[in-house]
């Protein structure tokens, strides 16, 4: 089967159907959220660099992919229009890494934790279970999300590969 790979940049989101693979790279302290409906094989991905859209100077309506609080509702709306059902959607989280050496506390560590808490809060608010994750650590990573299987392949900068 031919697969179309859609590469997302930081701050972008996309929703697609089973023939697509959604991918992003350069995941450090950002959070990547993958939402997937196994019944319809419809999914969405966002690579969000901020905890909240109110934390940015960007217009939320032009840039919903900048933060979980605007990205998740946007993805859910698009998935619904393609035929997805909320009851069968699950979430996977990638990122929230500590990319700053020896920073286990302080403002940079708190920034990472704030982004992660924002993602967890909106997913909980929307009633979406987080079924797997690849979070924390000090290595960068990339992720590819196969919308046929729902598998997210996470590749770390040291070459390690993890499927979630």
Residues 87-117: pLDDT tens digits? Answer: 999 999 999 998 766 556 666 667 788 999 9
Give residue-wise pLDDT tens across range 19-64.
899 999 999 999 999 999 999 999 999 999 998 876 555 554 568 9
Please name every residue paired with 154 in a beta bridge, in sequence order, or none if there are none.
143, 162
Give the per-residue pLDDT at 10. Answer: 95
Give the span between the Cα atoms of 78 and 89, in whole angstroms. 13
Q: What angle do CA 85, 122, 34 make, to 5 degrees?
A: 60
Give the per-residue pLDDT at 111. Answer: 76
Give the list of residues 6+ apart from residue 124 with CB closer than 8 angstroms, or none: none
Give the per-residue pLDDT at 147. Answer: 96
Q: Which residue has the higher pLDDT, 19 or 122?
A: 122
**Of the options 2.60.40.1220, 3.30.1330.200, 1.10.3470.10, 3.90.25.10, the CATH number for the domain spanning 4-163:** 3.30.1330.200
What pLDDT band is residue 18 in, cutting at 50, 70 and 90? confident
- The mean predicted confidence, pLDDT, of the chain is 90
Give the per-residue pLDDT at 102. Answer: 59
Angstrom CA distances, 56 to 32, 97, 144, stand at 18, 21, 27
């Amino acid at each position: 089967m031919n697969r179309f790979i859609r590469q997302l940049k930081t701050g972008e989101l996309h929703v697609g159907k089973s023939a697509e693979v959604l991918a992003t790279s350069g995941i450090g302290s950002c959070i990547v959220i993958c939402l997937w409906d196994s019944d319809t094989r419809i999914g969405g991905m966002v690579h969000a660099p901020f905890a909240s859209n109110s934390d940015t100077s960007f217009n939320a309506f032009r840039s919903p992919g900048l933060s979980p609080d605007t990205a998740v509702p946007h993805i859910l709306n698009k998935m619904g229009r393609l035929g997805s059902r909320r009851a069968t959607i699950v979430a996977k989280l990638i990122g929230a890494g500590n990319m700053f050496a020896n920073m286990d506390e302080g403002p940079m560590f708190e920034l990472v934790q704030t982004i992660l808490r924002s993602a967890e809060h909106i997913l909980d608010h929307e009633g979406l279970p987080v079924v797997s994750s690849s979070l924390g650590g000090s290595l960068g990573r990339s992720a590819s999300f196969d919308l046929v299987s729902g598998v997210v392949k996470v590749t770390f900068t040291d070459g390690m590969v993890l499927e979630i």
